[in-house]
Amino acid sequence: MSEWVVDGNNVVGSRPDGWWRDRAAAKRRLVERLERFAAAHDVPVTVIFDGRPIEAGGGERVQVAFASRGGRNAADDDIAKLVVRHPDPGSLTVVTSDRELAARVHDDGAQVVGAQTLLAELDAL
């Protein structure tokens, strides 16, 4: 079974749809869309956001997490740790358009998909 790990802020910020006016709502919208994606593809999804934790939703298929620390690359570091600690990194698909994070997780065995690819999938649902 494949598992998806989503760089939440990277995906939210990759489309200039006004997300910056209400960041919490943008995060909740992404989580809702990921729930539909996870159900349609029968895959578990973990989305990790930077910033202060908020109630962002989530459910049976989508686990929502917030970076374990503040500062630059906080969520990226947590995503990279998740990949390294996973018993089968090759079963993970990491969604990010951050080149540095993509290289890190790819080097550790995960597949990488860009934010726009995921957004196209979400738009098709």
State how far the Cα of 25 lies from the Cα of 41, in Å rounded to an integer. 24
What is the reported pLDDT for 100?
A: 97
Question: What does DSSP assign to residue 62?
Answer: E
| Structure tokens, 79 | 């995503």
Of 37, 26, 64, nearest to 121 by C-alpha is 37
In the chain, where does DSSP find H-type helix?
A: 8-12, 23-41, 74-85, 99-107, 115-124
In this predicted structure, the answer to whether residue 59 has a pLDDT above a threshold of 90 is: no
The type of residue at 125 is: L
Give the other-Cβ count within 10 Å of 56's Cβ: 21
29-43 pLDDT, tens per residue? 999 999 999 999 999
Domain map (residue ranges) of the chain:
3-124
- H or E segment to which residue 111 belongs: strand 111-113
| Structure tokens, 74 | 């906080």
Ramachandran area for residue 34 (φ above 0: left; ψ -120 to 50: alpha; else beta): alpha
In this predicted structure, the answer to whether residue 1 has a pLDDT above a threshold of 70 is: no
Residue 112 vs residue 19, higher pLDDT:
112
What is the reported pLDDT for 72?
A: 87
Confidence (pTM): 0.94
Give the other-Cβ count within 10 Å of 63's Cβ: 17
What is the reported pLDDT for 64?
A: 96
CATH of 3-124, one of 3.40.50, 1.10.760, 3.30.1490, 3.40.1620: 3.40.50
62-77 pLDDT, tens per residue? 999 999 999 889 999 9
